[in-house]
Amino acid sequence: MAKRSSSIVTLQEYLNMVAELKRHDELYYDLASPEISDYEYDQKAALVLDYERKNPEHVAKDSPTHRIWELPSQGFEQRSHRVPMLSLANTYSEEEVLHFVERVQKGIGSTKPPTLFCELKIDGVAISLFYRQGQLVHAITRGNGKVGDVVTANILTITSVPVVLKPPFPEEMEIRGEVYMPLATFRQLNLERQKEGLALLANPRNGAAGALKLLDPRVTKTRKLELFCYGLVSSDSFVRTQSEVYQALARWQLPILPMGYWGVAEEVEGVFRFVRKVGQERGQLPFEIDGIVVKVDNLAFQQELGVTGKTPRFAVAYKLAPERAKTTVLDLTLQVGRSGVITPVAELQPVELAGSVIRRATLHNRDEVQRKDIRIGDWVWIEKGGDVIPKVIEVDLTLRDASSRPWHMPNQCPVCHRPLAEQESQVAVRCVNRLCSGKRLARIRHFASKQAMNIDHLGPKVIEKLFDLDLVREPADLYILKEGDLENIDGFQTKSIHNLLNGIEASKTCDLATLIMALGIPHVGAQGAFHIAEEGGTLERLFEMTEEELMSIEGVGDKTAKSLCAYLLDREHRVEIERLISYGVVVRPHRKILKGDKFKGKTFVLTGTLVRYTRQEASKLIQSLGGVVVSEVGRHTDYVIVGEDPGSKLTKAKKLGIPILDESQWLSWLDAEA
């Protein structure tokens, strides 16, 4: 196992690494496009943590080592976790596991190592199921660890999740688990998406995360998600160990890992035997894992050890080495990004790796190709960075042909053939031709992508076809497409035409953060877009904001501020935004969340369509003022807020005699006590 690199010495080195980690967090959590492996990320994070321990006065308030990233999802209610959902510290060697055991032993004041518990670390999406009197009330994603999305309807599409538990059980409890997409389902979905010309799912984890964020549970059901439960949060002390937790979960008929993939290790060597067993059988598992969870078995010891930052002291993740494959480089090509950045790509002899066939690997920039000395015809080792993005790790020099020659970056754009430009202090080489069709096509792809406007049924192949036929040359052109434009295009049938036009129409209403992200402004990612929208509030106000105002926003740096200002001052970009608005795109104002406790102790249910706020915005308002928003009406509900076209929740509320407020009554209450 590779050793961690040298330590960070200066404050500037530390701040640079914090900025780099934030960028990788955004790529992983918000864009589902990681560039580095979990191992590489953890090595960088370890350097930051080491510096922060030695220099606590320099710790950046937005350091990723103290945060769990995940932006709120649009269209879902948010709810607080009763007990925060933490992430685990990672280890990569037996030596690091031994250090963990030593820390635990010292923490509990024991003269001998504690009994440990091992289980598979499923590569999925963390979930919390809340049961009251044995009945499922709601299911919440991890979110930022403190607040997550309520996805109860989507969780109920998983047939192994019981709505009512088998008694006996505590009065109230949270069950922690991991939602995942089986490998067989993942492969079948990608086959279907390939036939439809849609973008392929990067891996099962992304597939599961995307399915949980779908607003229509009927679609989620087609993704055939599964769930393994592993944890229990309850005030009742009827279990004493983690192994007893598993036994209780099984009694309640909740889905747990198969026998043989969890159990007690009386000594540390038992952990290593478990790791070796899993390593040998990993390739035969019907789901993806990215390691082993090692935790203290005794729950009282877990409580005593507590947490530090965003990680518990009583558990670690032993990460397995990424799977590798060997193949040959058939060619080195170039792709043009939306900002003109030229990225080298290795075209590979197809090879199967971690459940999918790999044909291409992005090489990020010219320096990486030269540093690794990757050449056409080379035999190379590849793995998936973060088990997602194919990455060339190293060249097998023993198999290099004597006639091979080093690769050099061309000096012309591969699409428009205009000279490429280099910018001082930047690794990237760019095409600066505004009319380059490669850049324009990449901008449309980004605009329509899931992390931006999220236009259904508009995959990369469909975009390329529309672009080649001159039907869409700029993002705004999407909103003037008509049925007649598509009828004579090869491969477009009546159903696919209607699906595409409906997807475009549905994207017309968006929030400000979504539009900022969709514009593809250099250095402005999803997190930055969210913070800017929260401060700016409206599109009109955004145009008025100065560089200094933008830089004063937490989480927005000077690069982001300069880039956004330059973009908005550019006449062509202003015209583009004006075209979007004139073609019917409606940008909802971003409403800042109030703070207070006026709704403290009150539980609300929302039903129907509200006028002044979306249901998500109304939920955030209630939560920020101390209230709780649940998805189902029950005897513990205090108020039901009713909009237009309410559903069955209104009928149930009347039957139970629960107070009902229409939107105007609720707003009067809100304004009166503001």
Q: Which residues are catalytic?
A: 121
Question: Which is nearest to 386 in space by CA: 35, 126, 68?
Answer: 35
3-state secondary structure at position 4: coil
Structure tokens at 392: 């060339």
Angle between helices 11-25 and 38-54 (to 10 degrees): 140
Close Cβ partners of 499 (under 8 Å, ≥ 6 residues apart): 456, 457
Task: Give residue 474's identity as a one-letter amino acid code.
Answer: E
Give the bridge partners for 335, in sequence order.
Answer: 343
Query: Environment class of residue 473 by beta-carbon count within 10 Å: exposed (0-12), middle (13-18) or buried (19+)?
Result: middle
Residue 512 to residue 585: CA distance in whole angstroms = 11
Give a three-class secondary structure readout of 299-362. HHHHHHHCEECCEECCEEEEECCCCEEEEEEEEEEEEECCCCEEEEEEEEEEEEECCEEEEEEE
The kind and range of the H/E element at 42 are helix 38-54
The kind and range of the H/E element at 127 are strand 125-132
Return left, alpha or beta for 344; rule: phi > 0 is left, psi -120 to 50 is alpha, else beta: beta
Query: Environment class of residue 379 by beta-carbon count within 10 Å: exposed (0-12), middle (13-18) or buried (19+)?
Result: middle
- 226 φ, ψ to 5°? -130, 170
Residue 111 to residue 70: CA distance in whole angstroms = 40
Residue with tokens 């963990």: 100
